[in-house]
Structure 1
Amino acid sequence: MLNTIIIDDEPNAINLLKDYSSNIGKINLMASFRNAIDGMNFIENNVVDLVLLDINMPKLSGISLAKLINTKVGVIFTTAYSEYAVESYKLNAMDYLLKPIDFDRFIEAINKADNIINSAPSNDTIIIKSGYKIFQVHLNDILYLEKEGNYITYHLKGKSILVRENVGTTLDNLPNYFKQIHKSYIVPLSKIEIIEQNHVLIGSKKIPIGRSYKNEIDRFFKSDHKS
């Protein structure tokens, strides 16, 4: 599921995107906003995977917002103006939808975004620096991450790596399918085997779900099982 918001100053455009989104099981539509500033505030305080973003808006344009938000948040531009296409792709937009937006074209864009955001090929790697050592780690080998004071422990298949960094920095370096579910834990959603009331299981490890993260985790799994 893609945690998605809509930012567009046209009510009719918002309503159309809401209707389209309600018919796609991959979208968890969290909120909609009539201006980019309110949308940016929401993004800064919530876990958002994808923004359906208009370009021409008062105060702050969609192009300007895309430059300000975390690069890990996917953007699909929705606009009536084709002249912004080149600039949008320079910002690594996942797609560019011209209004009026056809439903088939909308589905194509969402599928593309879903493949980029939620896929985790086993050959994808990240570089982790621990003291004087540098590790190249396969993302698929990461079971979960645990915060301990000023350190993060990457728990992998067969070993653990201790790194001095904070949760924010760690999340910035990981793909969007890694989610924080507790103040001390980050997990790749694909590794969760069982979800119970207050914890998840990854292998034999029981990992608590923080109160502020519970609704999102429940929503993800309930929606995903329906799709």
Structure 2
Amino acid sequence: MIKAIAIDDEPVALDIIRNHAEKIPSVNLCATFLSASEAFNYIKSNHVDVVFADISMPGLSGLEFAEMVKHRVQVVFTTAYPEHALKGFELAATDYLLKPINFSRFLQATQLAESRMQPPAAPENLFVKDGHSWLALPLADLLYARGEDNYVSLYINDKRILTRTTLTVLQSKLPVRQFVRVHKSYIIALAKIEKIEKHQVSISDAKIPLSMLSAEELLQLLGTTGYNVHI
């Protein structure tokens, strides 16, 4: 569900957006505003995904408003002036709708906004350097990784693969909901944990120390990332 608001100094324009939004089940138009400053105050205390904002308004303009909320919400500009389009996209606007806004174009903008709300798909393979070649290692088979200086040992089922990298670089390439660093030298696959003790976890035949996380923190993390854990 997209939580949206709309800003326009013309009530008729807001009525059009409201009517369009009511036809789309995935859009909840939570509020409308006649000024950008009122909308900005609303965003400070309410969650909003998308703002439909007119560009030319008295006081705080739509462009100024977009600059203020950049990286916090998606902005879809609505305006009767196509010459503002370039500036709008410089501000990383999700879309740019020309008035009068027809329903099909409004629907397209909401679908684009919704697609940007979806988290990127987790990679299925990890590519690591092996001598002069690159290997594609299935992430589903990775048990844990152990780092030592500028090398990392990857434990894939019954195999050990040594690659030249650091544990920090490796961590940046792994899905955060599937792998966690539990020690300065270890990253583990959450789904491969067999046993959790006070100061260590068991994965296959390995006993991996816990120093960055306590057993309680690890159990809590498993619960919040969707694993079936009974604490």
TM-score bracket, shorter-length normalisation: 0.5 to 0.7
Q: Distance in 1 between matches of 2:86 and 2:19?
A: 28
Unmatched runs of 5 consecutive residues or more in structure 2: 125-166, 179-187, 194-209, 214-220
Deviation per CA, 1:122-149: give whole Å up to 9, x if none: 249xxxxxxx95631545x427xxxxxx
Task: Report SS of the residue matched to 2:172.
Answer: strand
Query: Which protein has greater RCO, CA pairs closer than 8 Å, 6+ apart?
Result: 1
Q: Distance in 1 between matches of 2:189 and 2:54?
A: 40
The corresponding residue for 2:7 is: 7
Largest Rg, 1 or 2: 2
Normalising to structure 2: TM-score of the pair?
Answer: 0.58
Q: In 2, are the aligned partners of 1:66 and 1:91 still within 8 Å (CA)?
A: yes
Q: Which of these residues, 147, 152, 172, is aligned with residue 136 of structure 1? A: 172
In the TM superposition, 1:158-177 aligns within 5 A as 158=191
Q: In 2, are the aligned partners of 1:21 and 1:27 still within 8 Å (CA)?
A: yes
Q: Distance in 1 between matches of 2:46 and 2:29?
A: 13
Q: 1:41 to 1:138 in 2, by over 3 A?
A: farther
Unmatched runs of 5 consecutive residues or more in structure 1: 125-131, 144-154, 164-186, 193-199, 207-227
Deviation per CA, 1:8-34: give whole Å up to 9, x if none: 111001111011001111212111111
Aligned residues: 156
Give the CA deviation at 1:204.
2.9
In the TM superposition, 1:1-227 aligns within 5 A as 1-123=1-123, 133=168, 135-136=171-172, 138-139=174-175, 141-142=176-177, 157-158=190-191, 202-204=226-228
Normalising to structure 1: TM-score of the pair?
Answer: 0.59
Which ranges of 4 or more aligned residues in structure 1 deviate by more than 4 Å? 158-163
Q: 1:86 to 1:156 in 2, by over 3 A?
A: farther
Q: 1:201 to 1:137 in 2, by over 3 A?
A: closer
The corresponding residue for 1:213 is: none
Q: Distance in 2 between matches of 1:162 and 1:20?
A: 50
Q: In 1, are the aligned partners of 2:70 and 2:91 still within 8 Å (CA)?
A: no
Query: Identity over aligned residues, as a percent?
Result: 33
Give the CA deviation at 1:46.
1.3
Q: Distance in 2 between matches of 1:60 and 1:106?
A: 24
